[in-house]
Structures are given as C-alpha cells and as structure tokens.
C-alpha cells in the first residue's frame, strides 16, 4: 500500500504544494517529509481526514517522499492505547500507509529532557514557582506588556536542581513549571515566557510511572519534527501565532534539522461539531451509542454508516486547501458519498412502511414466479442480475397509495394502474379498512401480459417498488439523519450545544428487503431503490437478524428544511441550492408550454423517464444541448443521464458551458466504445469545464485511455480470485452479486482505467 491511493492521477494543486514544488526545484530540499501528528485522546473525525489526505498527499510531491504517523502523547491523563489503535485503523481504512515510519512523542522524552537541561544551562529557561493564576495575571494583555516572574533570575544551578527534583517527583502538581526565558513584552503573547514543562503524577500508557514531568505541545512538537527530518510541518491556522515559538525552540536548542511550519484552514462543517471535547461529551453522556455511532462525524462513525474511503478523499479534494477559515456545507460531503456509491452499490428493493397487497387473479396454489432484476442501472458499467420472487401477496410502500389522490399523483389509487418495479402492471380494485377506518390491505389484479412491456392500449405513468410477503426478509432499518438541527450547533456560547441535537437523527423501523441480500457479509452496501443508500451494519447485523443503516438519502432533503421560515424581502438573494447527486425534480404542478410538451413527449418516446424528460425539456438551452449531443451519438438515455446529473449541476454556477452538445455526445461515445470508463468520464467532463477542450483531446493529453488488453488484466484478476476463495465459491454457488465485488476491486487496482466490460467478461469466464 502506498501513501497515495490515486497513483498516476494528477495531484490537486494548492498553495502548500506550490511551495513544496518550488523548494524541490530550487534544491532547498531533495525530498519531502511530512507528518500527521494526532493526540491519542479520542477518535479521528472528518476534520482529521482533511489533514491526513493533505499530509500524505503532499509527501508524494517529488521522489522518495514520505509521511510519518506520530502520536503526540504528552498528556498522560487523557491518552489511551484504544485511541492509538483506532487512529491507525482509520488512517489505513482511508487508504494511506506510513510503513516503518511510526513514531511517538513519548519515545523522545529522554531527548526532550536533555535539551531542556541545555536551555537552562544556556540561560534560556527557568523554573517558575508562581501559581497558574499568578502567571496568568502577570502575562499582560494585547496592549500591555507582562510582568517578569519573581523567580525569573534564579541561578542556573538552582534551576537545574529544581528541574531535576521535579523530574524525580519530589513536588506536588502545580508547585513548579519550566518556562522559556524570552520576552514578557513581546506583542506575540505566545512568546511571553511560555511553559515548556509541567508536573503530572500520572501513569503514561507507554512509559508507565517513569516520568513526573511532561513537555508542553509547543516544545515537544517542533523537536519531534526535527528529530524525524520533517521538511514541511503542516498545521491548522490556530497555530499561526505558535510559529514564532516553534522557530525559537528549534533555534535555541541547536538541533541540526530545521523544519518549516505552514498553516492552512481547518475544516468547518455545518450541522456538526468538531471539538474532541464535545464529541467525548456526547459519548460519555450517552447522547450517542459510542465513538462509532453512525451519526458522529468520526471516521469510525462514517465507516459504520456506510461512507467509503474514496468518497471522503474525494470530498477533501473538492473542498481544497485554503488560507482562510470558512464553513463547508455538509451537502458537499453527502454529494461525494452519493456520487461514489452510485457507481457500484447494487440496487435492491426494500419496503420501510409496508401496506399489504393481494393479487386476486394470481392463482392461490400457483408456485411463486421468479422475476429478474438488474443489480445496476444501464449507465453503470457493471453487469449482474438477481432473482426477485413474485407471489400472490406483496408489500408496497404505504406512501405509494392514496385513496383520494391529488392531480399528478402517479402511483396507486382506487381504479388506477401502476407498474411494479421489474414486474407487472397492477390495478387497485378494492380497499380494505379496519374498524377505525385505516387502510390495512389492497386487493388488486395484475396483468400477466405486461412483464417487461407496456400495454399498447393504455399509458402507465407510475412505477413503485415492492417485495414478496412470503420471501421478503425482515430487517431492522436505522434511518440516520444529521445529528444537529442547527447549522452552527456550537455557535452560541450562551447555549449548550447539546440543546441543538436533532431529535429525529435516528428513527428505527422494521423493513422488508429482497431475499437476495441474505448471504451477503455485514458491511455490504446497497441502494434501496427510491429510498437511499444503505449498509448492513458491520457490528450488529448477522444472517439471523439483519440490520441496515441508512448512509444517505437519494437527494438532499435538508435543502428546503434549512430555508428560513420567515418571508424573505424581495431584494434578498435566493439561498444557494445544496449540491446533490441529481438535481431535484421540478414541482409536479409545473405547466409546460406547447413547445415543452412536444419535447417532453418526444423524449419519453426515446425511452427517457418522466423526470428526465421533464428536466431536459424545461429549458431551451438544455434541450438544445441534448438534441446536439444525441445527433452526435445515438444513445439518448446515456446522454440524458449526463445532462441531468452533470450538466445541470455545472450550470448552477455558470452562465453557460465552454463546449457544445456535440462534445458531450462525443464524451458519451468514448465511454460507450470503451475508450474510457464512466468514472474517468466524470474527470474528463470536469476538465472540459475548466479548459473548454474536447473530450478526445483531454483523454489524450492526460493519458486516460482504458486498459483494454486482456493480457494486462488477467494477472490482476487471477491474483484477486486466488486471494478471495470464499467470495469466488459464493459466486459459483449462485451468489451472482459477488461479481460487483470482483469488478470493483479490479477497477480500484487499475485506478479506474480497466475496461469494465472486458473485466466483466474475463472474471465471468474464470469464475464460471
């Protein structure tokens, strides 16, 4: 495993990488050494993920670079081996490796102590016996200089004696501290004789009871960087004022290696708290089930919720590296998650609020039929099918039936017809209610001649999902939402952040899911059609008691909720829409112009869905782009998918596109022909947006052509099958969804460049 999960891809540029590249060009450094230095006092969160991606990513600049993992374990009262192990697990899960470069600040305690002795001998440090309150009072203010400690001019001999006795444990905590002797009038408050050591009679998880004094962060951190040969010490903006002290310690101790500190903006995310202290409160006060609760912003929580490492890395790359603090919309993170899961999560059906339907004309004694459903939609280059049992009694979603439906309700109602997903057309004939008037059952009839085709004499507008009552598996489904209901839960100092917790952040329901998931391992991910993306809980789920966690909904349902309830002034700007994997469908009540209706009907005849046809026909510019693209390449469904998912998203932030519809058609053609994969196609599209180049030119310039040589792919596939005999056996036993695992792994190992159709063929031939 390497430091960079995206080998071969161009690294994203930022101001720190630009500095590093110049240092390499000028010969200031011959290689880059960075480090990620967490304190093992809690679990890592999404903010740490940004720093991990940055530091490990920067280390790939130039040749022979490396990134160290170093635990800043200088505070024995809060640190634990549990946190050390969790941090290593999270970094590896994100896709990064430090190899032999694992370090602990506690491993340098003897060297820290020796250098502190040197500072005392050089007259650069002294033992102060003031109380913390006295030191704080004498520190001064931003406009007033501080006062010298009455102990500042102790002799070197007295300071050495006191410091050595502090180390032996002869004094109580708070009796003395070691301070640097710098400048109590410095305009930088950090330079007013800062603390270097304090007394702590605490057991350290690595060094035991050897030490009774522990170094402060500002003293230990820079020296650790120097000991390890770090060239670029990257930290967040709150340490900007600490840089002067960082340089002072390096200079005055005389250590040979001189690293340089650079600061970047930390990640701020709305509807979230990033403070370890506050996250620890949520855990210890049982507001969540633990550090890995799927509502937590911890990497462990996101992993359990079903987020993928590639989605988190993509998010960190999208938000970039800035010099000024800002808050990122959590919708951007959810967009990256949807975008990633959409590319490989198999589709199955699950009913969360069941309403029983009896198909009265399905013979009571007839054996169940097995219908066929694709595991992936047409625009995803993975193959796979599953069998769906069809029976006399099925469950549908209760919200898919209305007894007195409004206009434009295209689902089931008395006397109306809908199509069952992957199945037949059914008509509601009778509604059964209980004594209180609640609907408990629908009696319907199905048309056996409509499997896979529409009846020529009537137009079916709606499609709903369903499961067989007899064969569906009961499952606990945990519907997770954002943990906080307010954008800035810790923004008001006068209000406890816990008062902003979202009471609806978790709802638990009993759902019914297709039986094809029965043999899948815990941690398997799915798209429950029309519901969202889900993962079988890696901790609680097993074959006897299925548990699914909702990773993310199909769309950003918070966009409208977050809008202020009060009426906006006419001059107020409209709230910027949240980023979603697919733009929200137009309101059902929108009326079309005659021209739009013509286009809508035309696009429906081409095979587009109601929603896609409506979106594309709504604007002349978009419709014109679609028409030109379809003229350049005959795949209207594939082009529509790109228009709805990518073009409309891009047009939110710009007046137009720097390329025409023919270029879009050419892009889809390159994908259909196997020249590039769909995932690489998205990278090409983004490059087209920024450069205005045609897709073929981008592909050639960046070397993005697919690997379509069977001889190059077969060794990878052979090795993968040999390393996963259990999954190969399950495929051969009939678990065809394993195909998605093997294809996904090959795509991952080839950086997404393998021809997915060829990969499918090769894997299938070897497994079958």
Say if residue 378 is exposed, middle or buried (CB neighbours under 10 Å; 0-12, 13-18, 19+): exposed
Residues 203, 246 contacting (CB under 8 angstroms): no
CA-wise closest residue to 558 among 330, 716, 398: 330
CA angle 723, 726, 732 (to 5 degrees): 110
> Please, which residues have CB within 8 angstroms of residue 352's CB and are 6 or more apart in sequence?
397, 477, 479, 509, 511, 531
Catalytic residue among 5, 181, 243, 276: 276
DSSP 210-233: S-SEEE-HHHHHHHHHHHTT-SEE
Q: Are 123 and 156 in contact, with CB atoms under 8 Å apart?
A: yes
Nearest to 289 by CA among 266, 313, 305: 305
Which residues pair with residue 476 across a beta bridge? 510, 547
559: exposed, middle or buried (C-beta count within 10 Å: 0-12, 13-18, 19+)?
Answer: middle
Task: Exactly one of 266, 669, 682, 736 is catalytic; name it.
Answer: 266
Q: How many degrees, rounded to 5, is the angle at CA 765 between CA 762 and CA 766?
A: 85
Determine how many CB atoms are found less than 10 A away from the CB of residue 686: 13
CA distance 308 to 314: 10
Residue 104 φ/ψ, nearest 5 degrees:
-130, 135
Residue 625, Cβ density class (10 Å: 0-12 exposed, 13-18 middle, ≥19 buried):
buried
The three-class DSSP label of residue 2 is coil
Cα–Cα distance measured from residue 306 to residue 720, given in angstroms and rounded to the nearest whole number:
23
In the chain, DSSP finds a helix count (H) and a strand count (E) of 25, 27
Residue 717 phi/psi, 5° resolution?
-65, -40
Q: At what angle do helices 610-617 and 594-605 cross, to 10 degrees?
A: 140
- What phi and psi values does residue 165 have, to the nearest 5 degrees? -70, -35
Cβ atoms of 518 and 473 closer than 8 Å: yes
Whether 367 is catalytic is no
Which residue of the set 21, 31, 39, 387 is catalytic?
A: 39
- Which residues are within 8 A (CB) of 139 and not within 5 positions of it... i.e. 6 or more apart? 146, 184, 189, 192
User: Is 276 considered catalytic here?
Assistant: yes
The answer to whether 656 and 623 are in contact (CB under 8 A) is no
By annotation, the residues acting in catalysis are: 39, 266, 276
């Amino acid at each position: 495993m390497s430091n960079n999960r995206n080998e071969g891809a161009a690294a994203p540029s930022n101001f720190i990488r630009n500095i590093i590249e110049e240092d390499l060009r000028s010969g200031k450094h011959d290689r880059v050494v960075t480090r990620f230095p967490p304190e093992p006092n809690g679990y890592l969160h999404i903010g740490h993920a940004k720093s991990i991606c940055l530091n490990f990513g920067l280390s790939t600049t130039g040749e022979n670079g490396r990134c160290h993992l170093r635990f800043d374990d200088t505070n024995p009262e809060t640190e634990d081996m549990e946190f050390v192990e969790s941090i290593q697990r999270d970094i590896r899960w994100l896709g990064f490796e430090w190899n032999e470069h694992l370090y602990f600040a506690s491993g340098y305690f003897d060297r820290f102590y020796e250098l502190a002795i040197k500072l005392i001998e050089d007259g650069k440090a002294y033992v102060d016996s003031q109380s913390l309150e006295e030191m704080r009072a004498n520190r001064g203010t931003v406009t007033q200089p501080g006062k010298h400690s009455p102990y500042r001019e102790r002799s070197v001999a007295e300071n050495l004696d006191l410091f050595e006795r502090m180390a032996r444990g002869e004094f109580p905590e708070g009796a003395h501290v070691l301070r640097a002797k710098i400048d109590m009038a410095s305009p930088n408050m950090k330079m007013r004789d800062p603390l270097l050591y304090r007394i702590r009679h605490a057991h350290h998880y690595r060094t035991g009871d050897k030490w009774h004094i522990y170094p402060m962060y500002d003293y230990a951190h820079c020296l650790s960087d120097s000991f390890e040969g770090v060239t670029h010490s990257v930290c967040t903006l709150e340490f900007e004022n600490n840089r002067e002290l960082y340089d002072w310690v390096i200079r005055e101790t005389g250590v040979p290696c001189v690293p340089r500190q650079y600061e970047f903006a930390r990640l701020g995310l709305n509807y979230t708290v990033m403070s370890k202290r506050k996250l620890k409160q949520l855990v210890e006060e049982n507001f969540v089930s633990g550090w890995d609760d799927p509502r937590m912003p911890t990497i462990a929580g996101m992993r359990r919720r079903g987020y993928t490492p590639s989605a988190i890395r993509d998010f960190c790359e999208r938000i970039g590296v800035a010099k000024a603090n800002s808050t990122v919309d959590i919708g951007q993170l959810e967009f990256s998650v949807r975008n990633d899961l959409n590319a490989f999560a198999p589709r199955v059906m699950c009913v969360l609020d069941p309403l029983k339907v009896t198909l009265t004309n399905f013979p009571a004694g007839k054996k169940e039929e097995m219908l066929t459903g694709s595991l992936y939609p047409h625009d995803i280059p993975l193959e796979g099918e599953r069998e769906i049992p069809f029976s006399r009694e099925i469950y549908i979603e209760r919200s898919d039936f209305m007894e007195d439906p409004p206009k434009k309700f295209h689902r089931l109602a008395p006397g109306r017809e809908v199509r069952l997903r992957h199945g037949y057309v059914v008509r509601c004939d009778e509604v059964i209610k209980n004594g209180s008037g609640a609907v408990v059952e629908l009696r319907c009839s199905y048309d056996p001649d409509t499997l896979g085709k529409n009846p020529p004499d009537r137009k079916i507008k709606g499609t709903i999902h369903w499961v067989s009552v007899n064969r569906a598996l009961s499952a606990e489904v945990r519907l997770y939402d954002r943990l906080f209901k307010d954008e800035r839960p810790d923004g008001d100092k006068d209000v406890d952040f816990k008062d902003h917790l979202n009471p609806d952040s978790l709802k638990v329901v009993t759902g019914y899911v297709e039986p094809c998931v029965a043999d899948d391992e815990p941690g398997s991910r799915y798209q429950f059609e029309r519901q969202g993306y889900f993962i079988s809980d890696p901790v609680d789920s097993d074959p006897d008691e299925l548990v699914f966690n909702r990773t993310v909904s199909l769309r950003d349902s918070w966009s409208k909720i977050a809008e202020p309830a009060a009426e906006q002034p006419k001059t107020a700007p409209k709230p910027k829409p949240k980023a979603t994997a697919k733009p929200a469908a137009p309101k059902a009540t929108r009326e079309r112009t005659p021209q739009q209706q013509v286009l809508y009907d035309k696009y429906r005849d081409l095979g587009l869905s109601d929603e896609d046809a409506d979106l594309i026909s709504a604007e002349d510019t978009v419709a014109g782009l679609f028409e030109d693209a379809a003229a350049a390449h005959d795949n209207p469904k594939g082009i529509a998918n790109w228009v709805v998912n990518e073009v409309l998203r891009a047009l939110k932030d710009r007046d137009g596109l720097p390329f025409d519809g023919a270029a879009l058609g050419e892009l889809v053609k390159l994908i259909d022909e196997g020249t590039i994969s769909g995932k690489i196609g998205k990278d090409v599209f983004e490059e087209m947006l920024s450069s205005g180049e045609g897709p073929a030119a981008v592909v050639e310039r960046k070397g993005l052509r697919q690997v379509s040589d069977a001889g190059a792919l077969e060794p990878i596939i052979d090795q993968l099958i040999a390393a996963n005999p259990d999954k190969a056996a399950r495929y051969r036993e009939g678990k065809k969804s394993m195909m998605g695992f093997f294809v996904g792994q090959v795509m991952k190992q080839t950086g997404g460049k393998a021809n997915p159709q060829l990969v499918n063929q090769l894997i299938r031939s070897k497994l079958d």
